[in-house]
């Protein structure tokens, strides 16, 4: 099972990376740029303002894949996927899932719920389902639902990050799960991609680093703040969306709030691109992971992936050299 899923997703990759689906930031331009560069591109379904717009995005992506794969010889575009919120507060859940089935989206990433129905629907047309999890309990529930992979969202991840150390999380999950593992949390360069594999993960899940790209749908002030920030500028709180997440402190202050005096709501809020009031937590107060200190510039996705590939190759070479010395 794991071999089949990896074959479908990795055959056309140049790097074992999934560009994480980020609210507002990830749209078709960024997804296609990622795919052309040889990494998996994804976006949240709710980034499309309506289900009708979502289907337009699906149509654009699938047509582009068909046209560009025909026009080029050899390597094809990398796979793509979407993030679906399965929590009951998502009013578009049913119609978005129906659209996913209609266009046979290769990879579906589920969040905020046990993906029982999603697994059934996606497996029916041959797609794969990965589930965001931040704890061992969540991981076991997702496995019960039959997911193909687990995205282990560790301490320091941008967005709705968890609290577990990646060494502990991967090691414990591998004791009872032999499926695909995707590691998320502070991964910002090629060396860390290699490290994720050394821990036992199959993919690295990268979000924050890709916000600082030309194709990302983020305002320039956001990208510049990423360059200027360090891990010290990250705040982990549930006061802004009802779910604990990592945010840039300078953006909280920029929006007129005192980071030390945020009111905790204690409720889950599923944000939607069409709802300006609810979008404030992500539109005006920006998320980032603790790996933000590694970001020094804004570049095209293709150039970033090339840099990551070089760093990854150097890291693998160095590890092999060190292993050879130890064996001797």
Mind listing the pLDDT tens digit for each residue in 90-114? 999 999 999 999 999 999 999 989 9
Q: Using the Cα atoms of residue 24, residue 28, residue 34 and residue 37 in order, give the sign of their dihedral.
A: negative
Span 316-325, average pLDDT: 83
DSSP state for residue 79 in the 8-state scheme: P
Where residue 276 falls among pLDDT bands split at 50, 70, 90? very low
What pLDDT, on the 0 to 100 scale, is given for residue 278?
A: 44
Span 287-296, average pLDDT: 96
Q: Where are the beta strands (DSSP E) in the chain?
A: 17-19, 40-44, 80-85, 107-111, 128-133, 149-153, 180-184, 203-206, 234-237, 245-248
Q: Helix %, strand %, coil % for the chain, to 5?
A: 50, 15, 35
Across the chain, mean pLDDT equals 91
User: Among all chains, which residue has been given the structure tokens 């719920």?
Assistant: 113
Tell me the pLDDT tens digit for each residue of 134-174: 999 999 999 999 999 999 999 999 988 999 999 999 999 99
What pLDDT, on the 0 to 100 scale, is given for residue 265?
A: 59
What pLDDT, on the 0 to 100 scale, is given for residue 260?
A: 87
DSSP state for residue 78 in the 8-state scheme: P
Percentage of residues of the chain with pLDDT beyond 70: 93
Residues 323 and 3: their CA atoms lie apart, in Å, by 27
At residue 263, φ and ψ (nearest 5 deg) are -85, 125
Span 48-72, average pLDDT: 95
Where residue 271 falls among pLDDT bands split at 50, 70, 90? low
What pLDDT, on the 0 to 100 scale, is given for residue 42?
A: 98
Which CATH superfamily, name and number, covers 2-218?
A: Aldolase class I (3.20.20.70)
Residues 71 and 194: their CA atoms lie apart, in Å, by 32
Where residue 73 falls among pLDDT bands split at 50, 70, 90? confident
Q: Is 242 left (phi over 0), alpha (psi -120 to 50) or beta?
A: left
Sequence-ordered list of residues with C-beta below 8 angstroms from that of 57, at least 6 positions apart, any chain: 27, 28, 43, 48
User: Among all chains, which residue has been given the structure tokens 């937590």?
Assistant: 281
Percentage of residues of the chain with pLDDT beyond 90: 77
Nearest to 246 by CA among 219, 275, 211, 221: 211
User: Among all chains, which residue has been given the structure tokens 């200190």?
Assistant: 293
CA distances from 100 to 31, 45, 92, 211, 288 (A): 16, 9, 12, 25, 28
Residues 48 and 56: their CA atoms lie apart, in Å, by 9
Boundaries of every domain in the chain: 2-218, 220-290
Look at 196-200, 302-306, 315-319 and tell me which has the smallest mean pLDDT: 315-319
- Which segment, 200-204, 235-239, 274-278, is predicted with the most confidence on average? 200-204
At residue 254, φ and ψ (nearest 5 deg) are -60, -30
User: Among all chains, which residue has been given the structure tokens 């709180």?
Assistant: 237
First to last CA, the chain: 37
Nearest to 220 by CA among 160, 297, 307, 157: 297
Look at 71-75, 156-160, 168-172, 231-235 and tell me which has the smallest mean pLDDT: 71-75
Rounded to two decimals, the pTM is 0.93
Whether the per-residue pLDDT at 16 is higher than 60: the answer is yes
- Asked if residues 174 and 183 have their Cβ atoms less than 8 Å apart, the reply is no
Residues 4 and 55: their CA atoms lie apart, in Å, by 28
């Amino acid at each position: 099972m794991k071999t089949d899923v990896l074959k479908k997703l990795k055959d056309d990759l140049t790097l074992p990376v999934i560009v994480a689906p980020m609210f507002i930031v990830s749209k078709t331009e960024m997804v296609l740029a990622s795919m052309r560069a040889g990494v998996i591109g994804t976006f949240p379904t709710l980034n499309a303002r309506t289900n009708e717009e979502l289907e337009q995005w699906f149509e654009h992506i699938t047509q582009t894949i068909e046209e560009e794969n025909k026009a080029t010889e050899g390597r094809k575009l990398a796979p793509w996927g979407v993030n679906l919120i399965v929590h009951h507060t998502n009013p578009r859940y049913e119609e978005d899932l129906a659209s996913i089935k209609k266009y046979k989206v290769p990879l579906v990433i589920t969040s905020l719920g046990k993906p029982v129905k999603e697994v059934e629907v996606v497996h029916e047309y041959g797609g794969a389902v990965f589930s965001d999890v931040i704890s061992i309990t969540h991981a076991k529930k997702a496995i019960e639902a039959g997911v193909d992979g687990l995205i282990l969202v560790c301490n320091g991840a941008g967005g709705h990050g968890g609290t577990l150390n990646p060494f502990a999380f991967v090691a414990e999950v591998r004791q009872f799960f032999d499926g695909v593992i995707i590691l998320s949390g502070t991964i910002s360069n090629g060396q860390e991609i290699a490290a994720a594999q050394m821990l036992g993960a199959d993919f690295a899940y990268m979000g924050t680093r890709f916000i600082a790209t030309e194709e990302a749908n983020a305002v320039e002030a956001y990208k510049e703040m990423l360059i200027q920030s360090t891990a010290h500028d990250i705040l982990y709180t549930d006061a802004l969306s009802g779910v604990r997440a990592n945010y840039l402190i300078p953006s909280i202050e920029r929006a007129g709030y005192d980071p030390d005096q945020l009111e905790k709501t204690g409720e889950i809020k599923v944000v939607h691109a069409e709802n300006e009031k609810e979008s404030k937590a992500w539109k005006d107060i920006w998320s980032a992971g603790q790996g933000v200190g590694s970001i020094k510039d804004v570049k095209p996705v293709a150039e970033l992936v090339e840099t990551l590939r070089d760093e990854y190759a150097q890291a693998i070479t160095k590890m092999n050299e060190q292993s050879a010395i130890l064996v001797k």
